[in-house]
Structure 1
Amino acid sequence: MSIRLPHPDSAIHLYRHLLREATYVPPYCRPWLTERIKRRFRDWRRPNLHEAHQSLRFLRSANSGHINRTLHLCFLASGRLGKRKRQLATSFFKKDPAEDSDALAKRPLFSTATAAPNRSNRKPRPEEAPVLTWLNNWDIDKVMAVAGAQVRNSQTNFPKQMRKTIDPARVLPKVNAWGQVFKPRLVGRKLQKHYAKLLADLMPPMPQGEWDLLQDLSLGQAEPEMFNVPTRRTVATTPVATQDSSTDTTPEWNWEEYVTKPVRTVERSNSRAIKSLSGACDSDPRGQGRPIGVKSFSPRRLRRSIYNRVWEASPILTYAKGKEKFKVTFGGTRRELSPATTSDLQFFSGVDTKGTVAHKGNG
């Protein structure tokens, strides 16, 4: 239910409101969110209060029961989106340091141009000189292993959908519209662009301990405190003088806005789509109704709608023995049909597991 809460007007007041709202989020993303709020305020040289006010409205909407906004917070905390996603990708996909000089010399290098043999004494042109790229710092084998597994396990509830074709040999054209072969430098730039888009859609692997925690949360095997969202404390009110009961306390209707502005603009805060963001409440029982996307956070809904979806988008990367160098495992439980109840089994009497009717013999 949307609650009309006071909105802060100063930076310190806004900071306290954000920290208070962080105590009502699901326990999984609560430590990350609290630390992020503190770090953002400490790093601010010129506080962007407008952005902070938007974040406060977003948190209040998520705490009121908005499923998609709460899921977005868990995606940010788990590194499926945002800054932590780039940090996990850097730590897992960066190449390990070479053991010695020989191992460093054997590593393949990506360049935006292939140096052609200089058969004359002329100075090489700028487009002929090889230029190393940022791809030399990334382990392409790990990137392609995770990308291939993500294509095979891609679900509709992923925060970002992976493209189906990930092989650069099939994506990059070899000739232009006039049938001419691309210059080596242009081929290198296209290759960088392809891998940049691939990394933007890629779900980086997670640490083993955090992946195991998400598994326990999805299967309901974690501590009971991880499934309990604290209830909102009573809003503090200032004491007011006792008024006469005959005094009309109905808020005055501002007719000038309805005359000078469209009705959809004046009543936009009361619409069901953004009612959880604005915190508006219907004073009339014939109002717009319940906000869209707002549910009550029961332990079952928190496990199935939040934790399980985050776990499905989270892989782990391990070294494998055999043809494949790396093994990628995505989370998620296998969905199976529940067995029929005793009252429903009477409709299937006389039918085998393949759906064939069993004929009874005479006598």
Structure 2
Amino acid sequence: MSRPLSVPPPTTTLGLYRQLLRESSYLPSLARPHADRYIKDRFRRHQHDKTDETRLRKRIKEAHHELRVFRAANAGDMDRMHKILLKAFGRTGSRRRELFTSLVRHPSPATTEEMEAQINGVRAWSFDRDPDWLDGWDTEALLSFAKAQAKTSLSSSPRGPLLHKHLMSPEKNIPRENVYGKPFPEKVMRTKLKKVYADLADRVLPPLPEKEWHKLGLVAEGKFEEAGWHVPSRRAVAKGLVEDGDKKEDDWKWQAYATKPVALVDIAQSKKLRLLTGASDENTPYGDTQPVDRHVYTPKFWRRLTKSIWLLTAKRAQDPEKGGYRITWGRAPFNAPKAAASGMEFFESLPVDAESSEGIKGTKKKGRK
């Protein structure tokens, strides 16, 4: 596991971009592609924007925050590493929106009859109202996947549980009349329908690609090499060939203490924020103490963390026999823990077969008369 870096923050956008990619390279191998693509897309999208100083300063501040989060996660912050993996495997964030888009996309018509039926369906509502975003969704596929997700009872879902109104047909659950007994206008009915589908879409955990889903399942079982899972170790920070002899690192920067509150100056050295800042405590007589929430990542930790995420994922494949799609959710079998060698002495006197176990059954206690 890598330690937090005590390096000065980048002063240019290109330097910030390079340090973000550097921290992304220390993430687990299956999570790194999404992190790299997210960083590159954000940088290239706004690379040539002509924005004002206020908006540019806000974007740089957000990028610095992302850099601190990556450093803290690589240094041993389990909560932040968990959030990064949730985004990487599409349970939250932009990756989830991409997977959801592929879930609700209408399938391409394979025959002429399917194309004519799709065109006739578009014509049916095009004369009555203008098209909206709900017309581009395959609502039948969304409802069928939501029902399959509700049957799995995902208690630790980051999006919240699915309610009964989400699983039934939303068109039937919307009231037809208002409190005055008059029917709703067509536009109001459509707005209510879009609101129900938007709430449903916010709680759905879309399926992963089949290949990625199987790799995540192998990691959850502890088969790291077979899945191609590895966590790189941190490389040494490059140092300049020429050092500035006039500047001493041990010099006390009294100007900051004279112009700012002491709590504000020493906040970077606090044990709670040391994983984010990478600073060391210079005031303790016992040396550099460990920061708060810094843990050592072991294979057991990776197996448990990926297992909790794999139970929230599913794969979707076409069923050639029954038609439609077959949805399979991650299910880890229960394996009873084995006693260690140091604890086997407590089990030596216990029976090993059913015949001998009958003689040690306790007598039934008599109740009060």
TM over 0.5: yes
Query: Who is 1:251 aligned against?
Result: 252
Superposition pairs of residues 315-354 of structure 1, within 5 angstroms = 315-320=314-319, 325-338=324-337, 342-345=344-347
User: Could you tell me how far apart the structure 2 residues matched to 1:349 and 1:285 are?
Assistant: 56
Cα deviation code 1:166-186 (max 9, x no counterpart): 122675344434454433321
**Is the 8 Å Cα contact of residues 104 and 137 (structure 2) preserved in structure 1?**
yes
How many angstroms does 1:109 deviate by?
5.1
Given candidates 39, 42, 48, the residue that maps to 1:40 is: 42
**Is the 8 Å Cα contact of residues 317 and 327 (structure 1) preserved in structure 2?**
yes
User: Could you tell me how far apart the structure 1 residues matched to 2:274 and 2:11 are?
Assistant: 21
Query: Who is 2:142 aligned against?
Result: 143
User: Could you tell me how far apart the structure 2 residues matched to 1:72 and 1:240 are?
Assistant: 39
Which amino acid in the other structure matches residue 150 of structure 2?
Answer: V
**Is the 8 Å Cα contact of residues 150 and 162 (structure 1) preserved in structure 2?**
no
Greater shift in the superposed pair: 47-56 or 23-32: 47-56
Q: CA RMSD in A?
A: 3.9
| Structure-2 change in CA distance of 1:292 and 1:249 (3 Å) | closer
User: Could you tell me how far apart the structure 1 residues matched to 2:174 and 2:122 are?
Assistant: 15
User: Could you tell me how far apart the structure 2 residues matched to 1:312 and 1:240 are?
Assistant: 52
How many angstroms does 1:300 deviate by?
2.1
**Where is the helix percentage greater, Structure 1 or Structure 2?**
2
Query: Who is 1:302 aligned against?
Result: 302
**Is the 8 Å Cα contact of residues 112 and 187 (structure 1) preserved in structure 2?**
no
Which amino acid in the other structure matches residue 251 of structure 1?
Answer: W
Query: Who is 1:17 aligned against?
Result: 19
Is 1:69 aligned to 2:73, yes or no? no
Cα deviation code 1:197-240 (max 9, x no counterpart): 21122111121111111111211224179444222222234454
Query: Who is 1:134 aligned against?
Result: 133
Query: Who is 1:122 aligned against?
Result: none
User: Could you tell me how far apart the structure 2 residues matched to 1:23 and 1:323 are?
Assistant: 44
| Structure-2 change in CA distance of 1:164 and 1:17 (3 Å) | same
Query: Who is 1:201 aligned against?
Result: 203
Is 1:189 aligned to 2:191, yes or no? yes
**Is the 8 Å Cα contact of residues 95 and 139 (structure 1) preserved in structure 2?**
yes
Which amino acid in the other structure matches residue 309 of structure 1?
Answer: S
How many angstroms does 1:350 deviate by?
11
Given candidates 210, 213, 223, the residue that maps to 2:212 is: 210
Which amino acid in the other structure matches residue 33 of structure 1?
Answer: A
How many angstroms does 1:133 deviate by?
3.7
Q: What TM-score, normalized by structure 1, do the two folds share?
A: 0.76
How many angstroms does 1:336 deviate by?
4.8
User: Could you tell me how far apart the structure 1 residues matched to 2:265 and 2:277 are?
Assistant: 13
Unaligned residue ranges in structure 2 (runs of 5+): 50-55, 365-369
Which amino acid in the other structure matches residue 252 of structure 2?
Answer: P
Q: What TM-score, normalized by structure 2, do the two folds share?
A: 0.75
How many angstroms does 1:333 deviate by?
0.8
**Is the 8 Å Cα contact of residues 111 and 188 (structure 1) preserved in structure 2?**
no
Query: Who is 1:125 aligned against?
Result: none
**Is the 8 Å Cα contact of residues 28 and 230 (structure 2) preserved in structure 1?**
yes
Cα deviation code 1:52-77 (max 9, x no counterpart): 22222222112112222222222332
| Structure-2 change in CA distance of 1:172 and 1:23 (3 Å) | same
How many angstroms does 1:325 deviate by?
4.3
User: Could you tell me how far apart the structure 1 residues matched to 2:181 and 2:311 are?
Assistant: 44
Query: Who is 1:268 aligned against?
Result: 267
Cα deviation code 1:62-102 (max 9, x no counterpart): 21122222222223322223333222222232111334554
How many angstroms does 1:9 deviate by?
0.9
| Structure-2 change in CA distance of 1:286 and 1:152 (3 Å) | farther
| Structure-2 change in CA distance of 1:135 and 1:2 (3 Å) | same
How many angstroms does 1:191 deviate by?
0.9
User: Could you tell me how far apart the structure 2 residues matched to 1:187 and 1:324 are?
Assistant: 32
Given candidates 214, 219, 222, the residue that maps to 1:220 is: 222
User: Could you tell me how far apart the structure 2 residues matched to 1:331 and 1:235 are?
Assistant: 40
Q: Percent identity?
A: 27
SS at match of 1:151: helix
Given candidates 49, 65, 68, the residue that maps to 2:60 is: 49
Greater shift in the superposed pair: 76-85 or 221-230: 221-230
Cα deviation code 1:292-331 (max 9, x no counterpart): 43321222212222x2233222211123478894332111
**Is the 8 Å Cα contact of residues 98 and 104 (structure 1) preserved in structure 2?**
yes
| Structure-2 change in CA distance of 1:72 and 1:318 (3 Å) | same
Greater shift in the superposed pair: 31-40 or 137-146: 31-40
